Structure 1
């Protein structure tokens, strides 16, 4: 794949589960005379059934806005979003709720994603009840979900404050899985966790994908995490996709200068090597010079 090819947004594939085509999102200015700010400038990407597309970029690049647009949480200025062959970029609220069976999300913060006053069982039952599952079937499904995310059966009767951050994120994963979605948007799902817990949660996500065939749009600022999780990677910079390819190519032989700079900024275990990479990243302008 040439540098010219990788520096363009991806053309949505015919077999795509999620197809985003020339998506533009703008946010209004703070004052009435302030012009709108374009956050996404014609983004195209595709997620195929059963695969993980990693979406990586630094803070403010627009990566989370893509996820929020797919979920219907921000308005779309132009372009299209299709899921399972159906346009979803301007769905009404009733149809959007019905899509919850196939499209779910795991947010970044396990501490705020659960209601502190409701039990874990209540949190897991909510999407089931919304889809019309009866009480007995809900209890059985909740027990199955807790087993799948490696939490004890009595977790259903406990409150979120009784669990660690990693355990809460497992609950969030269980809730996303509750009604068997085809795609889960993972928006920085491990960035609030320590390194050991991150690996546990990532391994769990991979295990779930292997056993269920669910697809992930995995959003992160960490290129090493994206490489571990993804089949393919799309790199976003200032609201535009600058490179898309298989995970190994993007994370070891990147074509675009911005991707190479992201790679330099990724942490490595060797202290001396890390110092060299940090210096190179500062020279490239990605990291600020220390006074």
Structure 2
């Protein structure tokens, strides 16, 4: 009687597990970076009654691809996963290393109970790539007649997903000095599938500004543009004055060193004849 009751409870437990198969239909969102790693955990403590665990991925065609896991018999892991997926039976997790963009997608964590699926958890893995620090190129950005030719280009590469350029202006207290924006150029690399982004804007150079740009959240170094010509002339005068002073100081130092190297002529020693005369005079005395 007691044994039959326990068997009934075990059967009910399996049924409940199967009913809960879609309980995690909303899934879990995971984030990874190209070249990095991510750990997928089933989110369920070990329980009695299951004898296998599969990690699977849905392909673009909707097929389920086995990645890693364990069962009561050896499992075959595909070559593209065998050296970069590691299953941990203790906490029922799998680590995937050296991520690529192709790893992005839907994943399933499937518990096997007596040869049948009794529990599954859904995941969605998003894989991104950090853009390089944007580079700014400046052309003709000075105050004066050429102000309308002020153009700044911002470019960044190696990122994912595609992103746009965001401009930042430091020192502008009125309206935006950007008078024109060209269309962003977004190109995907054929080999890596990563994205290169660039854009050029034109400015109204009415007063000095510091400009930055950002792509995918990565910010460039600031560049100073539209400098006041009078200020620039003063800077040139100061630099020239300092250069002249350094030249004069260098000449003085060289003159002092050379003058110390000039040797003072030594006194001419008395001749032998003079010494003999002095000796004879002493003997005669």
TM-score range, shorter chain: under 0.3
Question: Normalised by the size of structure 1, how large is the TM-score?
Answer: 0.24
Higher RCO (CA-CA < 8 Å; seq separation 6+): 1
Larger Rg: 2
Greater helix proportion: 1
Question: Normalised by the size of structure 2, how large is the TM-score?
Answer: 0.25
